[in-house]
Structure 1
């Protein structure tokens, strides 16, 4: 019995959704991506499948113009350019995987240009603003904890999710370094300056035991809440935002601004891009190039120093 065109499309959509689930399992079990990253893929890909069903499109034979229509809908819905690119990246990865498995031979998504990102750079903090942020920390238990958090963010350029995942043993005060686990559970060691070690050491000795006493369960987590539990990335972010408000700083400053500040100040201080890439935990150097910027003064100094005729 011959299927009608609509029945054929529905079967293709069902098959595509099954393959999508298999792809997400692959990301989790083979690529070893974090639960948060895998969940983000699942959410974005499911939204794409829902769009295909709503528009009556066969996702295994999607055309170039249909892909552009999907992107146009994301734009019309008011999604930021970064969000549009994230959706497109997820769908591209899925189609690349499907082609490698022989599920489909068509990959018109790969041919579609990514929406252009704004050249606006993330906000960074000046050294004086960092001092104001630290001065906003009280001398009580939570204040000692928050000071250690700010110093650690500033010293390591860690993502807030990485800080949330830290255990006490990951901070080596004697060796002045912290062990971070980035995307895909990739491990890296980042050196810490003395003041960061002092702040973390004081927190571990004085404040953390008080917080740990609030929970009956043994906790290995470095940063604990008032209930003695591991602080999530969201709760750390809230604590950071509270300090920003108390310090009277720009409300748009986030923990990620500390990461960008870390990277740009290293570059301004003469660090090479490869070293910054390793410290940030970026797989690709191009990611670091987009993520960081170099001051005009350093560029001028580098040009004058390197050019053979600069001394003439």
Structure 2
């Protein structure tokens, strides 16, 4: 049987991945994809989006019992009524859990009913993803510093979630660039993503620097610290994603008209590698989010 700490990391990973899919899909359909393209892609991706809705709710529901097992030192605490009650109703962990479960239930219902999300669904998915900031390292702080940390962490999550979540929709968009009906709309969606991506990448980097300053007070330069070592790996992966995004935007996109097949292949390959690197980032965050930064 896995340790409760491993179970909690898995809960965090599954929840964040599912919430990012919902948020990315919501933003892509509501703000990036023109109407016909959105309908076409949502029909193809509908099953995956519905699964993400179910996973987000299941992971959020499981979070509190697994957290109780971690605090209680073993899995029996996950079904101990007094422990669960005290955790749910008398701690910030419980408050964050109740908010998350409510948002996950609403998001799952909305996305299952209509995978092609409108702006309302995108906003619910944004709140769901940002709720992760309520139970992060911001809890180490108090007063205005804690509020600043939560807001910055939430912005970091939303910027990164837009970047990675919209990337997941991009291959389907690329596949329709030569479609005689949808090609123009696919180019429009690609252009909109490229423009919004500049802002998202800049915000990820800026808020990441602020988060490091709020948690550590300095650059993570201590290789003996497990937290700082994993944070350094995350920074390397994010920089690699940034490099691929720049390559796609400024090398391959301008060549779509004159070098179409190779340019599309280059963008698709870069996008898939970015998604893989983003999955690595999520796995790292799921782990080091549970580690004491002072250790």
* Structure with greater proportional helix content: 2
What TM-score do the two structures reach when normalised by structure 2? 0.27
Which structure would you say has the larger RCO, counting Cα contacts within 8 Å and 6 or more residues apart?
2
What TM-score do the two structures reach when normalised by structure 1? 0.26
| Greater gyration radius | 1
